[in-house]
Chain A
Amino acid sequence: MKILVPVKRVVDYNVKVRVKKDETDVELDNVKMSMNPFDEIAVEEALRLKEKGVASEIIAISIGLSEVQETIRNALAMGADSGIFVNCTSKLEPLSVAKILTSICNKIRPDLVIMGKQAIDDDMNATGQMLSAMLNWGQATFASKLEIQDKKIKVGREIDGGIENIEVNLPAIVTTDLRLNEPRYASLPNIMKAKRKPIDEIKVEDLNIDIEPRLEILKVEEPKSREAGIMVKSVDEMIEKLKNEAKVI
């Protein structure tokens, strides 16, 4: 079984993002970048399937400027076998990413695509579902449990209020939620080994896909900041404020 894992390079989740003064975007210069945490979970899940003998090959893919190759290298250091780097200088939104991935899937024909449920930068939560629609494959979003059974997968999905179990025919798309697993750290020998693993480069122009954005970002601004509140001196005062001033209890 061949598994494709799309990985995205995003601002590290520990960084406090700041809006640029000209309100065109958030500040991305000299900011620590990492693999999207949900994508790390996706890589880990693929590795576990390989370790169980279910999967035979794991390919990590990333799209963007040449820096995204670092993210592919991270996936290779965790244990993925090879990488695909789609060289693209334009800004992409999930619709375009899904189109690019559709084109790649039609070429390399994976049995399963495991990807993060959302990227923690634009918080779109869309690419996996869009890709499933374009390929006409089944989708199992927000996965917290995954079992492969013959030509099917059984997935526990995180829904509001609990877990929903579904069965999806392969090939399929799975998007990962937090509880699926805890990703491993890449060991130093594996980081060294990853440097020799192959990464194929594809130019996005060669795929002949319309990647013109459909959403124009007019402005990126700070959220309304909260007024600094007050310190109360006692539990009694707290209860009084919550009852009579805030009126929330």
Chain B
Amino acid sequence: MKTLVIVDHSNNKLEKSTLNTVKAGIQLENVDLLVLSDSCKDICNELIHIKNINNIFINENDAFKNQLAEDSANFIAENFKDYTNILFSNTSNGKNIAPRLAGLLDTMIIPDVIEIVDKQTFKRPIYAGNAIATCKSKNKINIITIRSTAFEEAEISHENVGEIKEIGSLTTNNLTKYLNSELTKSERPELTSADIVVSGGRGLGSAENFQVLEKLADKLGAAMGASRAAVDAGYVPNDWQVGQTGKIVAPNLYIAVGISGAIQHLAGMKDSKVIVGINKDEEAPIFSISDYGLADDLFKAVPEMESKLN
């Protein structure tokens, strides 16, 4: 039994979620890592210290710079057919590549795993987390994506653990070409991986009023989110949307302000470790899932909270 973890990175910077995926991999045994990049050195310098791993396979190729699914999936399918488990982080890269690989290898992907019950049995959320399915795999190769918030990070050693080995060669695809990226220039952390999220709802009343929340978010080093109602009302851009049809988040602290707590929204944030609800309506459903609720006028409470944090 061999487990391969595909290392996720953007612009040759290691994605932290890889460490959670390695931790999940260790539960399955015999972990090797694979780095596909145009320059593997910096990433490998970090990976080499992860405890309980064996080989770090690398392939340096300009074509891997932007991790096109066609190239990555072909390469993995050709070189790692004999593995029992192939794990990806459930990031936009993982979600793009893993199912394509599963299609190539005629295996049913097991996405967004939150618990490994045994070597063939996995738990994953369905219906946006409103139910949890336990699936027993009859696959010969399990291709799995791991929800990073459900696993700890792998431990790091001071010594070098993994052994770096070059592997394989790539025939680049002629189906798809990378053009460019427009990355959101924000001082704030990315919504789905932020430690703290401050979210606003229809209760904010206008786009301008969201600045009240943004100040609090910046004080906390938090990402900004919103309910679908706030997005539909045009207060904030769609990519702030947390909920069943938006982003699923599970930060350490989720502060829901002026959000009533529609099912749609709860589905996207109810796995947060600590939930704070601030709403002037004492009966708002958000309080039924909040660890700490404050029934108060948000335009008074939020600035007060912001000024009292240091």
Contact = CB atoms under 8 A, between A and B. Distances in A.
Interface of A: 11, 13-14, 16-17, 19, 26, 37, 93-95, 98, 120-134, 136-142, 154, 156-169, 172, 178-179, 213-223, 226-232, 234-236, 238-239, 241-242, 246, 248-249
A138 B176 contact: yes
B207 interface: no
Given A220-B126, A223-B130, A235-B301, A129 B107 contact: no
Question: 3 tightest A-B contacts by CB?
Answer: A133-B103, A138-B175, A130-B103
Interface string B84-97: 00000001110111
Contact of B103 (A122, A132, A223, A248): A132
B69 interface: yes
Contacts of A222: 131-132
Contacts of B293: 229-232
Interface residues of B, number: 91
A133 B138 contact: no
B246 A178 contact: yes
19 contacts: A13-B264, A14-B264, A124-B111, A126-B102, A126-B111, A130-B103, A163-B181, A165-B182, A166-B68, A169-B175, A214-B138, A222-B131, A223-B129, A223-B130, A229-B287, A231-B282, A231-B293, A235-B294, A239-B309
A161 B13 CA distance: 14
A126 B90 CA distance: 12
B204 interface: no
Nearest to B70: A138
B107 A214 contact: yes
B108 A95 contact: yes
A148 B114 CA distance: 39
Contacts of B182: 156, 162-165
Question: Which of B107, B239, B301 has the most C-beta atoms of chain A within 10 angstroms of its own C-beta?
Answer: B239
Interface in B30-76: 66, 68-70, 73
Interface of B: 10, 66, 68-70, 73, 91-93, 95-104, 106-112, 121, 125-139, 173-184, 190, 192-193, 196, 220, 238-239, 241, 244-246, 252-253, 263-264, 270-271, 273-276, 282, 287-296, 301, 304-305, 308-309
* Interface class of chain B by DSSP: mixed
A13 B73 contact: no
B291 A246 contact: yes
B175 A235 contact: no
A224 to B, nearest CB: 8
A238 B309 CA distance: 11
B127 A11 contact: yes
Given A130-B99, A139-B69, A232 B263 contact: no
Given A95-B107, A130-B99, A178-B238, A17 B176 contact: no
Given A166-B179, A178-B246, A141 B135 contact: no
A166 B176 contact: yes
A37 B267 CA distance: 15
A37 B301 CA distance: 36
Question: Which of B99, B178, B252, B294 has the most C-beta atoms of chain A within 10 angstroms of its own C-beta?
Answer: B99
A131 B103 contact: yes
Contact of B253 (A179, A215, A246): A246
Contacts of A179: 238-239
Given A159-B181, A226-B275, A164 B133 contact: no
Contacts of B110: 215
